[in-house]
Copies of this chain bind each other. A is one copy, B any other.
Amino acid sequence: MRLAFQGEPGAYSEAAALQFRPDAHLVPCPAFEDVFEAVERGGATCGVLPIENSIGGSIHRNYDLLLAHDLRIVAETELPVVHSLVALPGTTLDEVRTIYSHPQALAQCDRFLRSRKGVEVVATYDTAGSARLIHDRGLSGTAAIASERAATVFGLEVLARGIQDFADNITRFLVVGRGGAAEEIQKGTTPNKTTLVFSLPNEPGALFKALSVFALRGIDLTKLESRPIPGRPWEYLFYADLNVGQQEYRCGRALTHLAEFATSLRSLGSYVGFVRSTLGDAVPTAGDRA
């Protein structure tokens, strides 16, 4: 199986892809959009995309791209995130004048960064890419926030380990594929989670009414994300994760009901995921998982 991910070798997305399928052939892509395109054009079976971090929140770009592309969510996986400060071998912590990393990683290490007075913090496109930059350009006095594996890949040294503000830092990834991939990956499993995207008419109580089609059928929502509709200021698309597989009767009925008044409605996929109580604790359904 060929799995596309965004970033350099050593990226957290690469680790998530290997966790999902340890024997996969990995296809690194420069941007999230390239992951979608690699899957659409057949260069990869599936793409592994971060969708939400337990500290930083949603990765909105990927929500927007799920809408713009015609792929299905076929699985989800979660990866604990441990950030390290990495630099050229021989560098000491006090010699570091500049720190590069992705804005989410920088935000997650806020306390550590505030303790490094006078250090310039530079936002980049990715964590492992920052490590690579330091290696490729031989940047002394410069460090990156990245995974320990990124340090190994690019011959850098770890100056500080586990520098994120919260120990309990987890990123949730979605695995996306074309229709055929869903069948292959989900063979022998029963999807227990469904992700929808919908828009609503400009009417009072519209969102309340939308949630009622699930609540009154006992279907739990584990996530509700709103995104702007470009070109229509202050109108929103809603992305909802449901704790139910689409093959279930009440899920089908709820979707039919929502379609009666939603201005748009699309299922992004039904898959084996982590079952949680509404807005609550994770109950991994280990038996069903790869």
Contacts and interface: CB of A to CB of B under 8 A. Distances in A.
A200 B232 CA distance: 31
B57 A227 contact: yes
Name the residue in A168, A205, A232, A234 with the highest tally of chain B Cβ atoms < 10 Å from its Cβ: A234
Name the residue in A56, A200, A279 with the highest tally of chain B Cβ atoms < 10 Å from its Cβ: A279
Contacts of A221: 207-208
B53 A228 contact: yes
State the number of copies, please.
2
A103 B102 CA distance: 11
Nearest to A78: B233
Given A204-B218, A282-B233, A57 B60 contact: yes
Contacts of A278: 202-207
B279 A200 contact: yes
A55 B236 CA distance: 10
Interface string A271-288: 000001111111000000
A235 interface: yes
A277 B124 contact: no
Interface in A50-94: 52-57, 60-61
A215 B224 CA distance: 18
B208 A215 contact: yes
A135 to B, nearest CB: 18
A231 B168 contact: yes
A279 B55 contact: no
Nearest to A114: B33
A230 interface: yes
Given A212-B208, A224-B207, A227-B57, A202 B124 contact: no
Interface of A: 52-57, 60-61, 103, 107, 122-125, 165-166, 168, 170, 172, 200, 202-209, 211-212, 214-215, 218, 220-228, 230-236, 276-282
8 contacts: A54-B230, A56-B228, A57-B228, A202-B278, A204-B220, A205-B218, A223-B234, A224-B224
Given A165-B230, A207-B211, A233-B282, 18 more contacts: A56-B228, A103-B103, A123-B124, A166-B230, A170-B233, A202-B278, A202-B280, A203-B280, A204-B215, A204-B220, A207-B224, A207-B279, A208-B215, A211-B211, A225-B226, A234-B276, A234-B279, A235-B279
